[in-house]
Every structure is written in structure tokens, then in C-alpha cells.
Amino acid sequence: MVLVIFGVVTLTFFVVRLVPGDPARLMEPPGTPESIIQTVRQQIGTDRPIPVQYVDFLSGLVRGDLGKSFRGGRPVAESVAKALPNTLLLGLVSMVVATVLSVLTGIAAALRPNSWIDRAVLVVVSVAQSTPNFWLGVMLVLIFAIEFQWFPAIDMAGPASFVLPGATLVVTLFPLLVRTVRQSLLDSLGEDYVRAARARGLPEHRVLLVHVMKVAAVPLITLVGLQAGFVLGGAVVVESIFNWPGIGNLALKAIQDRDFPMIQGTVLVIAGVFTLINVVVDLTYAALDPRIRY
């Protein structure tokens, strides 16, 4: 787990330095004399050999120091710490809404396979799956922020500002969740133990909520965990469209500015959060399925 984070961070470190594009030159207006650029390089430390920079970066990491931003010199850790809660809050709200919505829809579809409800759900899911979230975000802004002016289009200011970015993320998450809920319900509904539970005269709601759901929940939890990764990835896009002060927006700006410490810092935090979620998922898994023990 630590290995994965370490691998990702190391990879990012070298890739940003090995591809062309000198951050020092970008920070100054075009036509700035080479001597000034060289001073800037010395200031931000990109003049040293890459292995030296790497050792420096690692020793900072051990001390919990993520370095200073190339732009403005603020500590990366501080910016990241400020942005992360905003991303997590938006992500959490969207995950919860998407999960609740898709569990309900998935159950409705699975209870009557091939009925009109099931077909309608599958059509909606197909369309949602084919809709890129960056386009959806733009369209939502166009309709609900510009045309009707119901919700704010940008920034994080109160509950209403969660609606449009949240809706965009929910639509992105929805299709795969619904498909999984539906399929795992259909799979467990056909199992022998479900028939056996019915043969014991248990009422249908109990069969569904206890016997079917407890087994079907296991793949669902795994998926929700995996989806958390997509929320973090999707945050980059959604946050940039809605100018959300989160980690994704920070990362994208850092990439555009070639702000190496900031890129490394944001990637590290995203990888860390992602891995942490996976650990939590594994533990929940074990709690739900007695056959798994760690």
C-alpha cells in the first residue's frame, strides 16, 4: 500500500522533470534574459541534478514537508490541506446521493427483469454512461445557472452551490453503480439459498432485504470503493468547470504552471486518499462476508 503511493509519487516526480517545459522560463514573461531565468532556477532549485532534487524531495517527505510552491512560495502542504476538505465534501455528498439513488433504481430494475421499468432504467443508464461529465457540467451551467439562474455556477458558497457540480458527479457515478446493483441482485436472487429461504416461509421483504442484500452488498461496496478513485479523478474536471476550490482544481493549475512541488503534493494526497479508501473497503468487506478474514 505504502509501496503503491511511493511508486506513484516517484513516477510523477521523474515524469514532470523529464518532459520538456522549463518552469522557470514559464514564470517570467517571454524575452526575459537568460541570467534572470538562471536566478529563478536557483531559487526554486531546478538547477540542481535531478537525483539530488529527488533525495531532497524524499527527505522532505519523511519530515512531512511537501516543499514550497514555485508560485508565491506558499507551503504546498498548507494549500493542499485547505483544498482537500472541499473535494472530500463534494465527493462524499455525490457518492452518498449516487449510491442511494442507484441502489433504489437497481432494486426496482432487478425485481422485475425485462419489465418496462427495467428497460427504462437500462436506457437511462446507457445514455448516462455515454455522456461525458465535462459536457454535462457545461450544459447544466447553461440551463440552470444562466437560463433559469436557479443555482450558482461557480465557487463553493453554501448548499445551493453543491447542486450542479454534485449532479454532474452523480450522473457520472450512476451508470456503473446501477448496473452492479442490478446484476448482483439478479445473481443472488437466482441462488439456492434464496429459494431455501422462501421455502421456509420467510416473507418476501425479508428475503430481499436480509438474504439477498447482504450477499449483493459485497460487490457493491467494492465498487463504491473503486468509484471513490473516479470521484477523485473526476474532481479534476468538475472542479475546473465549476471553479471549485478543491484538490483537483489545484492539481490542474499546478500542471498548467509546471509547479512541480504542487503537482507532486496533490498527486501524493490523491493517491493517499485513494489507498486509504481501499483499505476501508477491504475491512468492510471482511465484516460483511465471514468467509474473508485478514
Site for another protein in 223-282 (CB under 8 A): 229-230, 232-233, 236-237, 240, 251-252, 255-256, 258, 263, 267, 270-271, 274-275, 278
Task: Give dist(CA 61, CA 130) in Å, integer.
Answer: 40
Q: Which of 202, 219, 222, 281 touches another protein (CB under 8 A)? A: 202
Task: Give dist(CA 225, CA 35) in Å, integer.
Answer: 50
Residue 16 or 167: which CB sits closer to another protein? 16
**What is the distance in angstroms between the CA of the first residue and the CA of the last residue of the chain?**
15
Cell of 254: 499546478
Q: Does 88 bind another protein (CB under 8 A)?
A: no
From the list 216, 201, 195, 199, the residue with the least C-alpha distance to 289 is 216
- Least separation in angstroms between CB 105 and another protein: 18
Residue 150 or 193: which CB sits closer to another protein? 193
The footprint of another protein on residues 43-62 (CB under 8 A) is: none
Helix/strand/coil for 75: strand
Q: Which of 2, 203, 205, 294 touches another protein (CB under 8 A)? A: 203
Q: Does 190 bind another protein (CB under 8 A)?
A: yes
Contact window for another protein (CB under 8 A) among 31-39, 40-48, 67-75, 124-132: 124-132
Q: Does 222 bind another protein (CB under 8 A)?
A: no
Q: Which amino acid is at 288?
A: L
- Least separation in angstroms between CB 126 and another protein: 6
Indicate the burial class of 229 (C-beta count within 10 angstroms; 0-12, 13-18, 19 or more).
middle
Q: Does 196 bind another protein (CB under 8 A)?
A: yes
Q: Does 15 bind another protein (CB under 8 A)?
A: yes
**What Rg do the C-alpha atoms of the chain give, in angstroms?**
24
Determine the number of helices (DSSP H) and then strands (DSSP E) in the chain. 13, 0
Task: Give dist(CA 65, CA 181) in Å, integer.
Answer: 42
- Least separation in angstroms between CB 112 and another protein: 9
